[in-house]
Amino acid sequence: MRVLRRGDTGPDVAEIRAIFAGMELLPAVTETEQYETFDVAVEQAVRAFQQRRGLITDGVVGPATFQALKGASYHLGSRPLAHMISSPVQGDDVFALQERLTELGFDAGRPDGYFGPQTARALMTFQRDMRLNPDGICGPATIRELHRLSSPRARGGRPVFLREQEQVRRAGPRLRGKRIVIDPGHGGEDLGVVAGGLREADIAWDLARRLEGRMQATGMEALISRGPNHSPTDFERARFANDAGADLFLSLHNDGNPSPRAQGVASFHFGTGNGTTSTVGELLAGFIQREVAARTGLRDCRTHYKTWEIFTRTRCPAVRVEIGYLTNPDDARNLGDPAFRDIVAEGILIAVKRLYLLGEGDQPTGTFTFADVLAHELAKAE
């Protein structure tokens, strides 16, 4: 599909308007010309939808927003659902199915709106327990059973994310043996933000290498998701982490803005805005945010939930960090300094260590050092 923005016209705009009208984000219109025009009202509706869904709030209907819009037009029971290897079924109905199965005690995996193999296995287990044909297809008979069971077996939390927390607890406080995927953003011909002689892809790669060295020194297995001249898609980056059996996924980026006054560091984790969030991802994002802000003096732009593909398709807890604005003179000057990038890398490493410490022997933000980490690892080994 083509990217749609204010001023565009045509039947694809009419389709977007129809979806928004069905969601009551836009009133229905009858004039053909208006119905096919991407006007201010449509842009406002797009922004409201993007903010609600944890997407980049730019008022533009690109592939991610269009996919989310199409998915929002489905409700559980509006179509049969099944696992498709070549083209995964995606939508709000899949998300509702995952949530319902999880509430009933069946492990459907992370509720991300994608009908994957784990959701199919949970559905077939449910079907067997309900004496239905375990074909992995969520059709009318399965929908009736899901609606009939009005009292969930498990309440008071999101089991899939409680399992994330338990995995961290069981992993113990040592970093040795932990497998971390470091994901430097962009790469190859995709340079990312370019400003003041600096290129986001180059800085992200340099940061990844600095972080990789420090992690390996602690005994961690650090894997970089791309080469210096390669730019995988978000799906490919997520698949790399999944195939590696990563414990954590760390995506490194810089930001840019038309205003040179925009500056600071922000961290992102999986979350939908309706209470579904990666608790470990949120915790790690908070640690990274506080450590990097405290050590570098970058403006603290806080942590945020998002439903970006890099989060929905990665099975392990994942965090994306936007480290400074290359379009801001102060941030750019700092990021151009190798010593500053060393400080950022150390802050991220300390944040990962604090995640696994779970409060055991922890220290105030900004005071734990790389030497402290190595000493702790050595003490735990004895």
Is the pLDDT at 343 greater than 70? The verdict is yes
Residue 27's pLDDT band (cuts 50, 70, 90): confident
- CATH class assigned to 81-156: mainly alpha
Task: Tell me if 50 sits within 8 A of 73, measured CB to CB.
Answer: no
Average pLDDT of the residues in 91-103: 90
CA distance 327 to 264: 11
In this structure, the number of other CB atoms found within 10 A of the CB of residue 80 comes to 13
Question: Do the bridges between strand 179-184 and strand 248-255 make them parallel or antiparallel, or are there none, so unpaired?
Answer: parallel
Residue extent(s) of CATH 1.10.101.10 domains in the chain: 8-73, 81-156
Cβ-based neighbours of 14, under 8 Å, separated by 6 or more: 35, 36
Q: What's the predicted TM-score (pTM) here?
A: 0.81
CATH number, domain 8-73? 1.10.101.10
CA distance 305 to 91: 19
For residues 234 and 162, the model is more confident at: 234
Task: Tell me if 153 sits within 8 A of 105, measured CB to CB.
Answer: yes
Is the pLDDT at 23 greater than 90? The verdict is no
Is the pLDDT at 153 greater than 60? The verdict is no
Average pLDDT of the residues in 282-289: 96
Pick the CATH number of 172-380 from 3.40.50.150, 3.30.450.40, 3.40.630.40, 3.40.50.300: 3.40.630.40
Question: Do the bridges between strand 194-195 and strand 198-199 make them parallel or antiparallel, or are there none, so unpaired?
Answer: antiparallel
Q: Which of 290-294, 306-310, 355-359, 378-382 has the lowest mean pLDDT?
A: 378-382
Nearest partner of 55 among 307, 253, 304, 313, judged by Cα: 307
Is the pLDDT at 77 greater than 70? The verdict is yes
Q: Which of 88-92, 187-191, 301-305 has the lowest mean pLDDT?
A: 88-92
